[in-house]
């Protein structure tokens, strides 16, 4: 499969409240003991890694709530450029997460946000 989905995020509201909700609903183990207070969802058998966290201030609007999937690609900037040529919009330019991956985000022509990770 080209560009497989390798991560998901559920972002918005109060991070701890979301962690409790999804922990109780699905039995997820979520660890947000890190400098970014980002709730890493422990991957279960056959699952993909994910995160739960507070409002997405990294996109310039602390009121944004979103569910996002991340696809793995070889060329982040090339993929962003192609998304724009197809009618999309860059939401987050290519960025390095401290201690984590290199990623970017775009909105499709309908406004849905998708993330991409360096493969």
How many domains is the chain built from? 1
Alpha carbon of 10 to those of 49, 53, 85, 98: distances in Å?
Answer: 12, 7, 27, 20
Provide the whole-model pTM: 0.81
Residue 50, domain extent: 5-118
**Intra-chain end-to-end CA distance of the chain, in Å:** 13
- pLDDT by residue, tens only, the chain of 119 residues: 589 999 999 988 776 888 998 999 888 999 999 888 889 998 878 889 999 988 766 555 566 788 999 999 999 999 999 999 999 999 999 999 888 899 999 999 888 899 999 97
Question: Do strands 50-53 and 39-41 pair parallel, antiparallel, or not at all (unpaired)?
Answer: antiparallel
Here the CATH number for the domain that contains residue 113 is 3.10.180.10
């Amino acid at each position: 499969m080209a560009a497989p989905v390798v991560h998901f995020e559920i972002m918005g509201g109060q991070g701890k409240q979301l962690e409790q909700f999804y922990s109780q609903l699905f039995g997820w183990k979520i660890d947000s003991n890190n400098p970014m207070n980002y709730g890493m969802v422990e991957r279960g058998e056959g699952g993909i890694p994910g995160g739960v966290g507070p409002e997405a201030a990294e996109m310039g609007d602390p009121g944004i709530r979103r569910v996002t999937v991340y696809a793995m690609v070889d060329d982040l900037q090339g993929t962003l450029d192609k998304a724009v040529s197809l009618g999309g919009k860059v939401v987050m330019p290519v960025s390095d997460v401290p201690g984590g991956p290199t990623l970017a985000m775009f909105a499709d022509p309908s406004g849905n946000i998708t993330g991409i990770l360096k493969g």
